[in-house]
């Protein structure tokens, strides 16, 4: 028997088996890599009132949209187009189609939507094409394996509404297969510009002196006993980015003690401080301000009190009212802010409190955000409070508050670092009051 011949055959068979296994693994890996993926991201238009709006992709940065009202850019509105990312490992001819809605709704209100030849945009490398999403779009995929599709929307708002949304689906035919991904789009109602106050106070003052607190630094002058402390009266205002607002105040002339004793309070032409512009203003006069790029203004009001030798020790209280009006309409909002002065009593004797007159859930800030944002709300009475966060399909993903809370202004930070980009909602339930707002995680 030729053992040498048998050994050669065994070696050849072994080599063939190894080659077949290697080829099979290579084919499996190729099939695995070749599977294209389509990822979707939600979109929105914010701060919308009555009328017609059109949003298209902002091609200067590809991270936001440009919102038009008629033929003019509506700077009070902001938005982000829906985005779809196609990833492949080879050049292929693709056909893209959308299942498009005709309206957005919240179950009560309806907003009508449409699309035109500038509503959708395809980008790949340095190439960019706008197209009509109501028709199939044919294109050749990027050799580098990454194509992006953006979808804006035209909307008609016939009447006042609360936030509305809709869902749609993007389908792509590639390599004789079809892949799909769904996204949501929502319209946010015009944001109120209700000012949110925090208390202004000066404590541990001595009789026989006139005290002033600087609204920009919270510095109290003079310092007599070394225990004086205080904070300016602050109004936090949120509206649309770069929105112009008109601000005025109704200012108190006196602060009152429980015994009906009183002290005078005055305001100078530099008693109001606008944090964002670092300007000192006169609160006795109307002022026109521009909200910053995030739609925020922070106003601090200092004040001066004359503490005569004859006044009683104790707490003296009064209130000022901040009135905010939109420059583009007659819509105005107002809120009361408390001033408190403590004379001749230790700091521990004071509890600085101011209770709002109604329940309210504010829009989170910042929004969109990554990864954290702050949710604020107000309680006019002690209440059992639940504050929960949900994803777009209504699944609860976080409980931020669940328990009894005292009346007042509340804020809590929400961390979305472990969540994907998209639209989420947060719901406040307190004392029979219920309100839902939407927020966007954008990574």
Across the range 333-344, mean pLDDT stands at: 87
Predicted confidence at residue 31, as pLDDT, reads: 47
Give 406's pLDDT tier (boundaries 50, 70, 90). Answer: confident
Q: What is the DSSP string of 294-353?
A: TSEEEEEE-EEEEE-TTSPSEEEEEEEEEEEEETTSS-EEEEEEEEEEEESS-GGG----
pLDDT of residue 33: 45
Region 322-329: mean pLDDT is 84
Q: Do 360-441 and 196-349 fall under one CATH topology?
A: yes
φ/ψ (deg, to 5) at 36: -75, 155
Q: Taking residues 289-303, what's their average pLDDT? A: 88
Which pLDDT does position 171 carry in this prediction?
Answer: 93
Cα Rg, the chain, nearest whole Å: 31
Class of domain 360-441 (CATH, top level): mainly beta
CA distance 211 to 268: 13
Q: Is the pLDDT of residue 309 over 80?
A: yes
Q: Is residue 400 within 8 Å of 375, Cβ to Cβ?
A: yes
Inter-residue contact 86 to 137 (CB < 8 Å): no
Q: What is the pLDDT of residues 45-55, one digit of tens each?
A: 988 878 899 99
Pick the CATH number of 37-189 from 2.40.10, 1.10.287, 3.90.1010, 2.60.40: 2.60.40
pLDDT tens figures, 195-204: 777 788 999 9
In tens, the pLDDT along 206-265 reads 999 999 999 999 999 999 998 899 999 988 887 777 888 999 999 999 999 888 889 999
Domain locations in the chain as residue ranges:
37-189, 196-349, 360-441
The strand ranges marked E within 115-193 are 120-124, 127-131, 137-140, 146-151, 153-157, 164-174, 177-189
- Distances in whole angstroms, Cα of residue 247 to Cα of each of 124, 194, 235, 237, 292: 47, 11, 11, 10, 15
Neighbours of 265 (CB within 10 A): 19
* Assigned CATH topology for domain 196-349: Immunoglobulin-like (2.60.40)
């Amino acid at each position: 028997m030729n053992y040498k011949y048998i050994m050669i055959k065994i070696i050849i068979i072994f080599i063939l088996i190894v080659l077949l296994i290697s080829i099979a693994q290579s084919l499996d890996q190729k099939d695995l890599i070749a599977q294209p993926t389509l990822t979707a991201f939600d979109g929105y238009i914010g701060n919308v009132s009555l009328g017609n709006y059109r949003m298209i992709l902002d091609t200067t940065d590809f991270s936001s949209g440009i919102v038009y009202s008629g033929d003019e850019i509506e700077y009070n509105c902001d938005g982000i187009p829906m985005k779809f990312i196609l990833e492949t490992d080879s050049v292929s001819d693709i056909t893209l189609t959308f299942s498009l809605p005709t309206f957005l709704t919240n179950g009560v209100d309806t907003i009508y939507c449409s699309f035109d030849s500038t509503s959708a945009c395809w980008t790949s490398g340095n190439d960019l094409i706008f197209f009509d999403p109501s028709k199939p779009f044919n294109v050749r995929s990027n050799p580098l394996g990454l194509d992006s599709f953006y979808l804006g929307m035209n909307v008609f708002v016939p009447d006042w509404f609360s936030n509305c949304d809709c869902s749609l689906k993007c389908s792509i035919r590639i390599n004789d297969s079809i892949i799909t991904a769904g996204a949501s789009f929502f319209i946010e109602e015009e944001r109120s510009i209700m000012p949110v106050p925090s208390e202004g106070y000066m404590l541990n003052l001595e009789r026989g002196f006139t005290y002033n607190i600087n609204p920009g630094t919270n510095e109290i002058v003079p310092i007599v006993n070394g225990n004086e402390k205080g904070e300016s009266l602050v109004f936090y205002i949120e509206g649309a980015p770069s929105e112009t607002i008109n601000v005025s105040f109704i200012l108190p002339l006196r602060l009152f003690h429980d015994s009906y004793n009183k002290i005078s309070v005055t305001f100078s032409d530099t008693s109001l401080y606008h944090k964002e512009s670092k300007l000192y203003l006169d609160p006795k006069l109307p002022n026109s301000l521009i909200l910053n790029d995030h739609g925020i203004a922070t106003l601090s009001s200092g004040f001066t009190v004359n503490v005569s030798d004859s006044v009683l020790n104790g707490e003296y209280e009064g209130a000022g009212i901040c009135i905010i009006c939109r420059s583009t309409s007659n819509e105005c909002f107002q809120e009361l802010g408390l001033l408190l002065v403590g004379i001749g009593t230790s700091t521990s004797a004071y509890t600085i409190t101011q209770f709002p007159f109604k329940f309210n859930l504010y829009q989170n800030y910042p929004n969109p955000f990554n990864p954290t944002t702050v949710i604020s709300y107000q309680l006019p009475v002690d209440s059992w409070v639940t504050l929960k966060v949900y994803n777009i399909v209504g699944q609860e993903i976080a409980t931020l508050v669940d328990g009894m809370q005292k009346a007042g202004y509340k804020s809590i930070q929400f961390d979305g670092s472990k969540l994907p980009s998209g639209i989420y909602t947060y719901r406040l339930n307190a004392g029979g009051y219920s309100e839902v707002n939407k927020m966007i995680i954008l990574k």
